[in-house]
């Protein structure tokens, strides 16, 4: 699905429904909701795919559903066990996430920095991903050992790999140690995914709890999402743009939640363009 982007760059961005916006749903529900709302792609957590499998869907069935709805898999996430001693998210190991990503013709594996990891560890992950035809995107968080875009970029540099990129999440940018001009420290083409969520100016004592249950749709908080989008665009970032807002109420009507996410995304993109 092609569309004109209202961002200052005037380029076409793929618009993505991040699966965790519908975090309790199965992958088949996320795919249908994303298509109904007009998204080009989805990111899928391994747990969502396994829910679909438990409901009787095979990976081949899910790939057929994606094709039928014209939706691509931008990202499979999160890979946590690439770091030594780290546990796999939802007990779904890296090997299974790679299997899922290959079967669903995904583009990227998202590597979380929640449990640390070093350049050599990231290089090993990138090698496994490359063997499967996948890239790796490193996401810094609002907590843990890597809390800024420059910090994540340093980890990528230490890996020595030119096929590893970065995921820029607006919520983590504000809750971590990031600064507005951080994007200038990273080559634009190495930012391979953007995830949008909003929130109040001051964070809660427990950032993990806030991240999972208290995020706001982009434009509904004080994190200046249009400003962040504008800086990314001005720097030359052309990555897919997704909405990632964990909210319990979204699960009751996934299609309506996906449409709210799309409407919010279009509003903040228009505001970024108007600046």
* pLDDT, tens digit, 9 for 90 and up, residues 98-121: 999 999 999 999 999 999 999 999
Share of the chain above pLDDT 90, in %: 91
The band of 3, judged by pLDDT with boundaries at 50, 70 and 90, is: very low
Contacts of 57 (CB under 8 A, 6+ apart): 26, 27, 28, 65
Angle at CA 30, nearest 5°, toward 201 and 20? Answer: 30
Q: Token pair 């909003």 is at which residue? A: 198
Whether the per-residue pLDDT at 5 is higher than 60: the answer is no
Measured CA to CA, the distance from residue 93 to residue 113 in angstroms comes to 16
Alpha helices in 132-185 (DSSP H): 149-159, 170-175
* Number of neighbours of residue 157 by Cβ within 10 angstroms: 12
pLDDT of 10 higher than 50: no
Q: pLDDT, tens digit, for every residue of 179-232?
A: 999 999 999 999 999 999 999 999 999 999 999 999 999 999 999 999 999 999
Task: Kindly state the percentage of the chain with pLDDT values over 70.
Answer: 96
Which residue segments constitute the domains of the chain, with CATH numbers given?
Answer: 74-245+264-269 (3.20.20.150)
User: What value does the mean pLDDT take over residues 163-177?
Assistant: 97
**pLDDT reading at 9 higher than 70:** no
Is 140 within 8 Å of 147 (Cβ atoms)?
yes
Q: How far from chain centre, in Å, is Cα 96?
A: 19
The pLDDT score that the predictor gives to residue 8 is: 39
Question: Which tens digit of pLDDT belongs to each residue from 12-65?
Answer: 589 999 999 999 999 999 999 999 999 999 999 999 999 999 999 999 999 999
């Amino acid at each position: 699905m092609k569309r004109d982007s209202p961002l200052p760059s005037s380029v076409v961005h793929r618009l993505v429904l991040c699966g965790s916006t519908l975090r309790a749903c199965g992958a088949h529900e996320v795919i249908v909701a994303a298509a109904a709302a007009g998204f080009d792609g989805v990111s899928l957590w391994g747990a969502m795919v396994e829910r679909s499998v438990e409901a009787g869907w095979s990976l081949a069935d899910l790939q057929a559903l994606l094709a039928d709805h014209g939706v691509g898999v931008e990202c499979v996430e999160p890979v946590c066990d690439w770091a030594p001693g780290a546990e796999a998210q939802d007990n779904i190991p890296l090997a299974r996430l790679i299997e899922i990503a290959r079967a669903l013709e995904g583009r990227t594996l998202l590597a979380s920095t929640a449990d640390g990891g070093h350049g050599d560890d990231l290089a090993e992950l990138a090698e496994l991903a490359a063997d499967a035809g996948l890239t790796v995107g490193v996401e810094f968080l609002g907590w843990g050992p890597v809390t800024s875009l420059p910090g994540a970029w340093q980890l990528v540099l230490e890996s020595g790999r030119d096929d590893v990129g970065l995921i820029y999440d607006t919520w983590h940018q504000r809750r971590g140690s990031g600064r507005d001009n951080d994007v200038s420290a990273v080559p634009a083409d190495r930012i391979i995914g953007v995830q949008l969520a909003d929130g109040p100016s001051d964070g809660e004592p427990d950032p993990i709890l806030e991240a999972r249950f208290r995020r706001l749709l982009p434009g509904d908080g004080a994190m200046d999402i249009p400003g962040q989008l504008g800086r990314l665009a001005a720097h030359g970032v052309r990555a897919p743009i997704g909405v990632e807002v964990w909210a319990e109420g979204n699960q009751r009507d996934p299609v309506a939640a996906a449409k709210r996410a799309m409407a919010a995304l279009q509003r903040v993109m228009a505001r970024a363009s108007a600046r």
